[in-house]
Amino acid sequence: MQFESFSDFINMGGYAFYVWLSFGVTFLSMGIIAVQSYLKQSSLLKAVIVEQERKARIKKARQENTHAQ
């Protein structure tokens, strides 16, 4: 372990701000892109269901028209 105490580790030899900022931003942006991909996935799957329902409604309306004629 390169540092005597945990507070030394946090201090990072005086460069704490830059090191932790870089690591923070890195893992934050990686987290964002990963979470966004999963949110997109669930919204897409919901969109599939919406498309199915839309098709059913259109088909039903078409049948009613042909009967009404």
Partner 1 sequence: MWKWLHPYAKTERAYQLCLTLQPWFWAGALLCLSIGTVWGLAFAPQDYQQGDSFRIIYIHVPSAILSMGTYVAMAIAALVGMVWQWRTAYMSMIAMAPIGAVMTFIALFTGAAWGKPMWGAWWVWDARLTSELILLFLYMGVIALYGAFEDKQQAGKAAGVMALVGVVNIPIIHYSVEWWNTLHQGATISKFDNPSIAPEMLWPLLINLLGFALFIGAVTTVRLRNEIVLRELHRPWVQALAQQHIEGKR
Partner 2 sequence: MLEACRVTCSKRDRVLFEGLSLNVNAGELLYLRGPNGAGKTSLLRILTGLSAPDDGCVKFAGQDIQQYPKDYYRQLLYLGHKSGTNGSLSALDNLGFWLAQHNVQQNQGTLYDTLAKVGLVGLEDVPVRYLSAGQQRRVALSRLWLKPARVWILDEPFTALDVKGVAMLESAMNDHVSKGGLVITTSHQLLSQDAGEHRVFDLEYRF
Main-chain phi, psi angles of 15, to 5 degrees? -100, 25
Answer yes or no: are the C-beta atoms of 9 and 3 closer than 8 Å.
Answer: yes
Q: How far is residue 35 CA from its own chain's centroid?
A: 3
CB closer to partner 1, 10 vs 67: 10
Neighbouring C-beta atoms of residue 18, cutoff 10 Å: 10
Question: Smaller CB distance to partner 2: residue 5 or 66?
Answer: 66
Measured from the CB of residue 58, what is the shortest distance to partner 2 in angstroms?
Answer: 4
- Interface residues toward partner 1, by CB under 8 A: 1-3, 9, 12-15, 18-19, 21-23, 25-26, 29-30, 32-34, 37-38, 40-42, 44-49, 51-52
